[in-house]
Amino acid sequence: MGGDAALPPDAGFSTRAIHAGQEPDAATGAVVVPIYQTSTYAQEALGRNKGYEYARTHNLTRASLERNLAALEGGRFGLCFASGLAATNTLLQSLSAGDHVVAGHNLYGGTFRLMERVLKRHGLAFSFIPTTDPEAVERAFTPATRMLFVETPTNPMMQLTDIAAVSERAHRRGIKVVVDNTFMTPFFQRPLSLGADVVMHSVTKYLNGHSDMVGGALVTSDEALAESLRFLQNAAGGVPGPMDCWLALRGTKTLAVRMQRHEENARVLARALAGHARVAAVFYPGLPTHPQHALAQRQASGFGGMISFIPGDGSLEAGRRTFDRFRIFARAESLGGVESLVCHPASMTHASVPRETRLAMGFADGLLRLSVGIEDAKDLLADLEQALQGI
């Protein structure tokens, strides 16, 4: 669906990842899409050009990435942005003052901040609710609701939303459904095929996969919406640079093999954590003990590489003792790169969430989140084990 004449319509995921949007360069035959590092394009004569005028509007490296991501998500249209938040901001700019959005209560902190502290001032209204319950989602809809925005699984509690169930309820009222698919990637989960209208990505994470750029994307098959987003992409201008698009294109070529390895390693670590005497709780949808394990199996083809767990008694001290001992896992925010990271969400990514709100979700002071990389599982396991000896 990437519009590539040479690709068979039933081409597999990795074939699309490597070829969609990336036919050899027309001018030279270069196999790798060039970095079109230009801000403008020369006209042949007055009013005559090659379809390119100015790089905020048209850039071929960006267009390649957009077609590539659309093909991976099984959507007709892809749009890329300077960051995940720029993508979400542009998407929400398609709404108007007075419109209402229902969103998950455990969204990525930056998404919550954009909605609550920026777009509310522009007249949009938001309800933040636990989207894990499709009935609660339906109850939150009002006559002014235009959009449902969910993240599944959530960060760091790894709670799932049933995409098909909430999409059906939203569509009965003409409400558009947006899924932030950053954690699962299209390799494991394709929200459009489950009924969602738009998929949003922080390309910064797994899609690029090498922790060396920041980017965002939207994918949809809704032509009218795509047209409005294309207008806003140019009118509001949150576009990515060609170098970053090129890095992301290099990243998606290995998405399948990376995701397989991320998950393989995550399963090893989740199993070890689940049976560990110094661990109070583990949150990973791939564990049969996860309350939504059946839903995870139904709506995704894998469980991903993100794990949260509560060391020792859940206290900040137990978290700190474990966190500070990691040697291979780098202590850092972000996720989805080849290197393993450990994060203390309460003081890092979720510092703005009130403590009572956190605790009510089972999000203990000492909770740690792992972005499991693609190093050798035995080394990650040994690092985790020695870190837990700190308690």
Ligand X SMILES: *Cc1c(COP(=O)(O)O)cnc(C)c1O
| Positive or negative torsion for Cα 13, 69, 226, 179 | positive
Residue number, 112 or 314, with CB nearest to ligand X? 112
Residue 116 — φ and ψ, nearest 5°? -75, -40
Asked if 236 and 90 touch (Cβ cutoff 8 Å), the reply is: yes
Stretch that binds ligand X, among 60-68, 70-78, 201-209, 274-282 (CB under 6 A): 201-209
Per the DSSP assignment, residues forming a β-bridge with 150 are 179
Kindly determine how many residues on this chain lie close enough to bind ligand X according to the rule CB under 6 A: 16
Stretch that binds ligand X, among 31-39, 179-187, 238-246, 270-278 (CB under 6 A): 179-187
Q: By CB under 6 A, tell whether 89 contacts ligand X.
A: no
Q: Which two tokens stand for residue 308?
A: 């949260």
Whether 365 is a known active-site residue: answer no
Structure-token match 């990514």, residue found: 349
The residues near 228 (Cβ < 8 Å, ≥ 6 apart) are 94
Asked if 79 and 217 touch (Cβ cutoff 8 Å), the reply is: yes
Choice among 162, 180, 244, 365 that is catalytic: 180
Q: What gap in Å lies between CA 324 and CA 331, rounded to an integer?
A: 8
Stretch that binds ligand X, among 136-144, 177-185, 236-244, 324-332 (CB under 6 A): 177-185
Q: What gap in Å lies between CA 145 and CA 12, rounded to an integer?
A: 37
Choice among 52, 56, 133, 253 that is catalytic: 56
Q: By CB under 6 A, tell whether 182 contacts ligand X.
A: yes
Shortest reach from residue 151's CB to ligand X, in Å: 6
Q: What gap in Å lies between CA 203 and CA 296, rounded to an integer?
A: 22
Q: Pick from 62, 169, 190, 205: which binds ligand X (CB under 6 A)?
A: 205
Residue number, 85 or 307, with CB nearest to ligand X? 85
Q: Pick from 73, 151, 197, 383: which binds ligand X (CB under 6 A)?
A: 151
Return the closest-CA partner of residue 241 out of 62, 46, 22, 51. 62
Return the closest-CA partner of residue 225 out of 204, 199, 206. 199
Shortest reach from residue 218's CB to ligand X, in Å: 12
Q: Pick from 89, 132, 189, 202: which binds ligand X (CB under 6 A)?
A: 202
Q: By CB under 6 A, tell whether 244 contacts ligand X.
A: no
Whether 205 is a known active-site residue: answer yes
Shortest reach from residue 379's CB to ligand X, in Å: 25
Q: By CB under 6 A, tell whether 185 contacts ligand X.
A: no
Structure-token match 């901040």, residue found: 113
Q: By CB under 6 A, tell whether 238 contacts ligand X.
A: no
Choice among 205, 258, 261, 358 that is catalytic: 205
Q: By CB under 6 A, tell whether 84 contacts ligand X.
A: yes
At 366 the three-state DSSP class reads coil
Residue number, 66 or 151, with CB nearest to ligand X? 151
Question: What is the secondary structure of 57-71 as a DSSP string?
Answer: T--HHHHHHHHHHHH
| Range 99-138, binding ligand X (CB under 6 A) | 108, 110-111
Whether 253 is a known active-site residue: answer no
Shortest reach from residue 389's CB to ligand X, in Å: 30
Shortest reach from residue 158's CB to ligand X, in Å: 12
Structure-token match 């996969």, residue found: 209
Residue number, 55 or 86, with CB nearest to ligand X? 86
Structure-token match 């309820």, residue found: 169
Q: By CB under 6 A, tell whether 68 contacts ligand X.
A: no
First to last CA, the chain: 52
Q: By CB under 6 A, tell whether 67 contacts ligand X.
A: no
Whether 56 is a known active-site residue: answer yes
Walk across the sheet containing 198-202 and list its strands. 77-81, 216-220, 198-202, 176-180, 145-151, 100-104, 125-129
Tell me how crowded residue 53 is: count the other CB atoms within 10 A of its CB: 12
Q: Tell me which residues are annotated as active site.
A: 56, 108, 180, 205
Interface residues with ligand X (CB under 6 A) are 83-85, 108, 110-111, 151, 155, 180, 182-183, 202, 204-205, 214, 216
